[in-house]
């Protein structure tokens, strides 16, 4: 009987060790990444993934959305929750928190990081978002 209990505990421990760890939200690790992908879904349509530039400021991850990307976010059925793929890792429940007070800092950080921002900054980017895991959003 004792042997069965020991074997059962060992089997459970082995299964727990074999289970993949949940991905960790770590914006500082993605500072050098060029893009991430956001997932939105318009009413009655399949989900849609699209790439956007990213910057990390004070340990937080920011994106700047303009044109169709900002419309996609605003019409997302799960708004403000989006999916994010970054550095080969997928996160299904990330909150896009509007950060208009960071728009200038994000624009400056993007200009410093992306040479082609010389052109992109002249396009409208009405939505600056801080991306945070849903449980850490504070709302």
Q: What is the pLDDT of residues 86-124, one digit of tens each?
A: 999 999 999 999 999 999 999 999 999 998 755 555 555
52 inside domain: yes
Residue 81: half-sphere exposure toward Cβ, Cα within 13 Å: 10
Residue 11: both structure tokens together: 């089997």
Residue 50 sits in a domain of what CATH number? 2.30.110.10
Q: Is residue 116 part of a domain?
A: yes
Give the pair of three-digit tokens for residue 42. Answer: 């318009």
Q: In this structure, are residues 121 and 66 in contact, taking their beta carbons and an 8 Å threshold? A: no
Which domain covers residue 74, as residue numbers?
Answer: 27-136
pLDDT at 118: 56
Does a structural domain hold residue 103? yes
Report the DSSP pairing between strands 60-65 and 127-133. antiparallel
Whether 10 is covered by a domain: the verdict is no
Question: What order of strands is seen across the sheet that includes strand 127-133?
Answer: 48-53, 35-40, 81-86, 89-98, 127-133, 60-65, 55-57
pTM of the model: 0.79
């Amino acid at each position: 009987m004792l042997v069965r209990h020991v074997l059962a505990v060992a089997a459970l421990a082995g299964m727990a060790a074999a289970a993949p760890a949940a991905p960790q939200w770590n914006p500082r690790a993605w500072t050098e990444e060029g893009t991430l992908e956001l997932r939105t879904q318009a009413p009655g349509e399949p989900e849609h993934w699209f790439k956007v530039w990213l910057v990390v400021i004070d340990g937080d991850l920011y994106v700047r959305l303009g044109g169709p990307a900002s419309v996609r976010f605003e019409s997302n059925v799960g708004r403000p929750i989006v999916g994010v793929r970054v550095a080969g890792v997928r996160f299904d429940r990330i909150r896009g928190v509007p950060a208009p007070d960071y728009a200038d800092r994000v624009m400056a950080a993007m200009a410093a990081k992306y040479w082609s921002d010389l052109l992109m900054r002249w396009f409208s980017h009405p939505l600056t978002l801080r991306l945070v895991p849903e449980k850490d959003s504070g709302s």
